Structure 1
Amino acid sequence: MSKIILNTIINSNIHTVFDLARDIDLHQKSTFKTGEKAIAGRTSGLIEYGETVTWKAKHLGVIQTLTTKIISMEKPFQFIDVMLKGAFKSMKHQHIFRQEGKNTIMTDIFEFESPLGIIGKIFNKIYLKNYMISFLLERNKLIKVTAEKKYQSTNIES
């Protein structure tokens, strides 16, 4: 099992960051390189506890689908999604949010296991883990920029 832990410091309030992290439309914007599209389940707006979403995208030159379900949610502090169907042997993504002063610390804990036994483990080490880190960082960058822009415009108006 591979594990990725990322912390992103965002100058915005926890509620804004939490909602952006579960925004299907924003996620699709962050994955324009892979053409990721929500095709079933929740396909736009904010995903909620118990809901599923099926994504279709081109990863590693292959069109793939991935269905995930939100199995835990405590607004605005955390939510967890797991893979129901897809290319991984297993996948779990914990999204954790903590307010520190004017900043929100967004933590991703992304755990996955590739199929194909030893071949999958080798592929993880030499390529897939770094690919997934880049994928998550791209998503987090858009969440950060969007949240900080909203926060700045709110504070200017006050």
Structure 2
Amino acid sequence: MPVTVQVISFVAAAPARVFDLKLDVDVHAASQHAAGETAATRDGRRQLTLGDEVTFQARHFGIRWRMTSRITAYQRPDEPADAVGSPRTSGRFVDEQVRGPFAMMRHEHLFEADGAGTRMTDRMSFAAPFGPLGAVVARLVLAPHLRRLLTRRAAHLDALVRAGG
């Protein structure tokens, strides 16, 4: 049974800017430099879009992990929302594991205008392998670890924006 972790944070930038930063593989890897994270795409592009795959490598729990995810949904915040052409104040994208350590992993990223910035929601659903034992490890070990990881990434993004990056 999948476990869901949700982190809601605020970033002091417009939704389109935050959206673009979240899809930048270099920004993503930099947010986890302590884990030695790297990110690579097949074509070398650093900005992801619909259908793109990215392979991450990082050290967690003393083990080197490798996971490839694909962008399966993509809706920019600044694309027209209606026939009048006014920009949307929200957007989203979804990445899903295609190869890696999880039995399944789906990460939905939501971006909503909120005053002078963006309310960003990370909702990650995952299941660990190894049946009932994996389910226990997912709830007791992986869920808190992933919540900290998502919180750290959001803080990195906000600090980057505030520093003018």
Q: TM-score, length-normalised on structure 1?
A: 0.89
Q: Measure, in 2, the Cα distance between the counterparts of 1:118 and 1:145.
A: 39
Matched, 1:103 2:117: yes
Match of 1:123 in 2: 137
- SS of 1:150 mapped into structure 2: coil
Matched, 1:51 2:65: no
The Cα shift of 1:16 comes to 1.1
- SS of 2:155 mapped into structure 1: helix
Q: Counterpart amino acid of 1:136?
A: L
Identity %: 26
Matched, 1:67 2:68: yes
Q: Measure, in 2, the Cα distance between the counterparts of 1:91 and 1:50.
A: 16
The Cα shift of 1:64 comes to 1.5
Q: TM-score, length-normalised on structure 2?
A: 0.86
The Cα shift of 1:102 comes to 1.2
Deviates more, 1:91-100 or 1:7-16: 7-16
Matched, 1:19 2:20: yes
The Cα shift of 1:113 comes to 0.3
Deviates more, 1:67-76 or 1:121-130: 121-130
Matched, 1:84 2:98: yes
Match of 1:156 in 2: none
Q: Measure, in 2, the Cα distance between the counterparts of 1:64 and 1:12.
A: 32
| Unmatched segments (≥5 aa) in structure 2 | 78-90
Match of 1:31 in 2: 32
The Cα shift of 1:44 comes to 5.2
Match of 2:86 in 1: none
Contact kept, 8 Å, 1:14 with 1:104, in 2: the verdict is yes
The Cα shift of 1:40 comes to 4.1
| Unmatched segments (≥5 aa) in structure 1 | 152-158
More helix by share: 1
> Structure 1 residues 31 and 24, CA, compared in 2 at 3 Å: closer, same or farther?
same
Q: Per-residue CA shift, 1:114-151, capped at 9, x if unaligned?
A: 00011111111221111111111111111111123339
Contact kept, 8 Å, 2:13 with 2:116, in 1: the verdict is yes
Q: Measure, in 1, the Cα distance between the counterparts of 2:30 and 2:43.
A: 16
The Cα shift of 1:42 comes to 5.5
Matched, 1:94 2:95: no
Q: Counterpart amino acid of 2:132?
A: I
